[in-house]
């Protein structure tokens, strides 16, 4: 796998999977330099990288990979054992930790906002609704309820999750590529307190079945591909509202590799990154909610702006072969 570049403030990050590292390159004419961020997670906005060591997350500025900028706490109630995702348009990070007490244990999602005051230790806010279990791993109520999430450092491995660009929404799945039913969850992080917004049953997918998440640019919808199913979910819909729109149930999507937990060797497939499915894409125009998806030799455009299923007539789109450098894209919105 070759190198690829990510835009960054004052330069660019070059990720080299074969070398297992990411390097920031300054493009200043007067002061060109590079900084090796090694296997760190790279901020999608290109301003920072993050390293987790001894369950503590430490941030580094892109231009300085040796002097820490901020860090999470190191105690069990304030650390970040596993990084889940990073918001593109806001310096917000989601983590998950396994919490244990004398007779109970649970997985806890923690949110960190970069840029706190001295002494530069990030303070965690928590997503309420963790399913509490006894010492045998059995939920105290017999089973986890529809308002609870059962999610920790172990169950998050290999599972797609995503922060919306603004950092308002967090979505994550369980059970992907396991052959067992799982769940799709999302949380409105702008609410106080942040509780689980929705928890929906997701049909089983087997190894190789593509699973992907993508927020619309307006952040009104979450698109979930689960194998050959493609469903748009209205994020503001309540548990009993009709906000779930089946776009397609027979995509005939090609098999794909599971998402990667190791950023440096699989940045394009990182489980906490943006949708990497070749089957669909959102228009970048936040004024509307328009998406396109590929099915066999057709390209189908769907307009969800009016909260309805409004497909345009299919377009002829022969499948790309191995020499194709891209799939398809929308015209950029007018300035």
pLDDT in tens, the chain (335 residues): 567 788 888 899 998 888 888 999 998 767 788 999 999 999 999 999 999 999 999 999 999 999 999 999 999 999 999 999 999 999 999 999 999 999 999 999 999 999 866 557 898 999 999 999 999 999 999 999 999 999 999 999 999 999 999 999 999 999 999 999 999 999 999 999 999 999 999 988 989 899 999 999 999 999 999 999 999 999 998 777 778 999 999 988 888 778 999 998 888 889 998 777 778 999 999 888 999 998 888 889 999 986 667 778 888 877 665 455 557 788 888 76
Q: Which residues pair with 70 in a beta bridge?
A: 59
Tell me the β-bridge partners of 198.
186
Q: b or e along 17-43 (b: 16 or more beta carbons within 10 Å of the residue's beta carbon)?
A: beeebbbbbbeeeeeeeebebeebbbb
DSSP string, 159-221: --EEE-TTS-EEEEEESTTSSS-EEEEEEETTSSS-BEEEEEEE----TT--EEEEE-TTSSE
The 3-state DSSP composition of the chain as helix, strand, coil percent (nearest 5) reads 0, 40, 55
Cα–Cα distance measured from residue 270 to residue 104, given in angstroms and rounded to the nearest whole number: 31
Q: Is the overall model pTM greater than 0.75, yes or no?
A: yes
């Amino acid at each position: 796998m070759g190198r690829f570049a990510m835009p960054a403030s004052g330069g660019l990050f070059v990720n080299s999977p074969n070398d297992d590292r990411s390097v920031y390159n300054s493009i200043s004419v007067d002061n060109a330099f590079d900084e090796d961020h090694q296997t760190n997670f790279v901020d999608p906005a290109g301003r920072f990288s993050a390293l987790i060591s001894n369950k503590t997350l430490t941030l580094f500025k892109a231009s300085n990979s040796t002097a820490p900028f901020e860090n999470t706490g190191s105690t069990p109630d304030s650390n970040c054992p596993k990084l889940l995702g990073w918001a593109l348009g806001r310096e917000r990070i989601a983590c998950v930790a396994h919490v244990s007490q004398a007779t109970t244990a649970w997985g806890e999602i923690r949110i960190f906002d970069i840029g706190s005051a001295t002494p530069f230790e990030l303070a965690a806010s928590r997503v309420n609704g963790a399913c509490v279990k006894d010492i045998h791993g059995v939920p105290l109520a017999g089973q986890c309820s529809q308002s609870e999430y059962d999610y920790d450092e172990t169950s998050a491995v290999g599972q797609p999750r995503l922060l919306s660009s603004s950092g308002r929404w967090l979505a994550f799945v369980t059970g992907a590529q396991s052959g067992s039913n799982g769940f799709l969850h999302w949380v409105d992080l702008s609410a106080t307190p942040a509780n689980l917004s929705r928890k929906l049953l997701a049909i089983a997918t087997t190894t190789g079945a593509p699973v992907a998440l993508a927020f619309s640019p307006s952040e009104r919808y979450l698109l979930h591909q689960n194998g050959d199913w493609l469903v748009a979910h209205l994020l503001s819909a309540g548990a009993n509202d009709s906000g779930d729109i089946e776009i397609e149930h027979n995509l005939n999507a090609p098999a794909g590799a599971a998402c990667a937990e190791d950023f440096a060797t699989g940045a394009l497939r990182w489980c906490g990154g943006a949708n990497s499915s070749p089957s669909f894409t959102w228009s970048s125009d936040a004024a509307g909610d328009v998406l396109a998806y590929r099915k066999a030799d057709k390209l189908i455009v769907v307009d969800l702006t009016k909260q309805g299923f409004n497909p345009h007539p299919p377009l002829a789109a022969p499948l790309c072969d191995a020499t194709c450098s891209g799939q398809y894209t929308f015209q950029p919105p007018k300035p």
